[in-house]
Structure 1
Amino acid sequence: MSLLARLAPHLPYVRRYARALTGDQTTGDNYVRVALEALAAGERQLPAEMTPRVALYHVFHAIWTTTGAQLEDKSGLEGRNDDASRRLMRIAPRSRQAFLLTALEGFTPSEAAQILDADAHDVERLISEAQTDIDAELATDVLIIEDEAIISADIESLVKELGHRVTGTATTHDEAVDAVARHRPGLVLADIQLADGSSGIDAVKDILKRIDVPVIFITAFPERLLTGERPEPTFLITKPFQPETVKAAISQALFFHPSRQKAAA
């Protein structure tokens, strides 16, 4: 089996991880591209003792930790405004990497330890540290755009458990836009397909014309939005979702959004 055939099923998900880690589609996809180029050129090898998926993430992290600054310089980040540059150049702490690998990507602590070249006990400690940081996140107002009542209720309950406030729910494009007009949210959780056949992506585009707000998309088919071939969402939650996955995505979206960085500066 060719290298590409072995890795193809895992590429959409390593892109998801890279985007969550960097807070940006272009930057995250760039790291993945360079990792694949290094593998194709023989500059990096998939460790034989690892599964293909674990090995791919391991190679990605090797690229991320050894050449990150150079890649960002080459992608022209220094030409952007100061807030965006600081946001994109700020590498997530190792504890956040461990949390994302286990909560967002579903790796076991043992697998995450292989990816990070760490001891499994260290990974457990890193995850605990990340959890503490996440629990300390400032609460925000959340708008939920979801046409399935049960899923919407589950998300609302989870968001409240995390300490946030749900200030609106919507099942269609128009309801979503109206909800934002009534109350400005600090975060939007949006399904891709809505009840009236409209698109959650279109609703978000119209919302972003009015306000600057972090957005997390929810979809049963993440591979359709993680191709690396067009402008795509940075933060995705896959249906059916786990509470830890939602927590990880919310933390990353709030952490990397420009308004969050300004407040922390």
Structure 2
Amino acid sequence: MVIEDDAIIGADLELCAADLGFKEVLAARDEAGAVAVAESSHPNLIICDLRLGPEGSGVRAANAILRQGPAAIVFVTGLLPGNELVVDKAGVVTLGKPCDVIGLKRAINRAVTRPAGSRVQVEIS
């Protein structure tokens, strides 16, 4: 599942996920939409923008989705240089935008090793 408020970046992330072999890539453009889509689809991987518009939070969306069941999560953000990969002490994976298929694959590989279902705590500055 791709959660990205910018339609062009979202479409690019969806294509990257498809290029990596994901068969069904669902999309949401805001926090509420993401939670609603996840309720009916139960995604096992979430690629999520940290900031979802002026009021939306990818962290809140991710935590709401994790309450529904386990999923690997990769956060993407323009706050880091493109393709920079950061893994914090808790194992939260964040990738800088713009990213490409290789960077996304690397981030996904790191995210799937994180304990399933554990809440994420990310500070957005």
- Could you say which structure has the larger radius of gyration? 1
3-state DSSP class of the match of 2:26? Answer: strand
| Cα distance in 2, alignment partners of residues 258 and 235 from structure 1 | 12
Q: How many pairs are equivalent?
A: 111
3-state DSSP class of the match of 2:56? Answer: coil
CA contact (8 A) 1:145 1:190 kept: yes
- Give, in angstroms, the shift of residue 236 of structure 1: 1.0
Match of 1:165 among 5, 15, 23: 23
3-state DSSP class of the match of 1:166? Answer: coil
| Cα distance in 1, alignment partners of residues 9 and 44 from structure 2 | 21
Cα RMSD (Å): 2.2
Pair 1:219-2:74 in alignment: no
Q: Structure 2 unaligned runs (5+)?
A: 117-125
TM-score, normalised to structure 2's length?
Answer: 0.78
Q: After superposition, what is the alpha-carbon deviation per residue over 1:34-92, rounded to whole angstroms, capped at 9, x for unaligned? A: xxxxxxxxxxxxxxxxxxxxxxxxxxxxxxxxxxxxxxxxxxxxxxxxxxxxxxxxxxx
Q: After superposition, what is the alpha-carbon deviation per residue over 1:211-263, rounded to whole angstroms, capped at 9, x for unaligned? A: 1111000011149xx7x7xx866211101213211111112222x1456xxxx
| Cα distance in 2, alignment partners of residues 172 and 145 from structure 1 | 7
Q: Provide closer, same or farther for how the CA distance between residues 233 and 203 of structure 1 changes in structure 2, counting only shifts above 3 A.
A: farther
CA contact (8 A) 2:51 2:58 kept: yes
Q: Provide closer, same or farther for how the CA distance between residues 251 and 216 of structure 1 changes in structure 2, counting only shifts above 3 A.
A: same
| Cα distance in 2, alignment partners of residues 166 and 236 from structure 1 | 22
- Give, in angstroms, the shift of residue 186 of structure 1: 1.1
Q: Provide closer, same or farther for how the CA distance between residues 184 and 159 of structure 1 changes in structure 2, counting only shifts above 3 A.
A: same
CA contact (8 A) 2:42 2:68 kept: no
- Give, in angstroms, the shift of residue 209 of structure 1: 1.2
Higher strand share: 2
Match of 1:183 among 32, 41, 46: 41
Percent identity over paired residues: 29
Higher helix share: 1
- Give, in angstroms, the shift of residue 187 of structure 1: 0.2
CA contact (8 A) 2:17 2:25 kept: no
| Cα distance in 1, alignment partners of residues 13 and 100 from structure 2 | 10
CA contact (8 A) 2:50 2:58 kept: yes
Match of 1:240 among 88, 98, 113: 98
| Cα distance in 2, alignment partners of residues 210 and 222 from structure 1 | 29
TM-score, normalised to structure 1's length?
Answer: 0.39
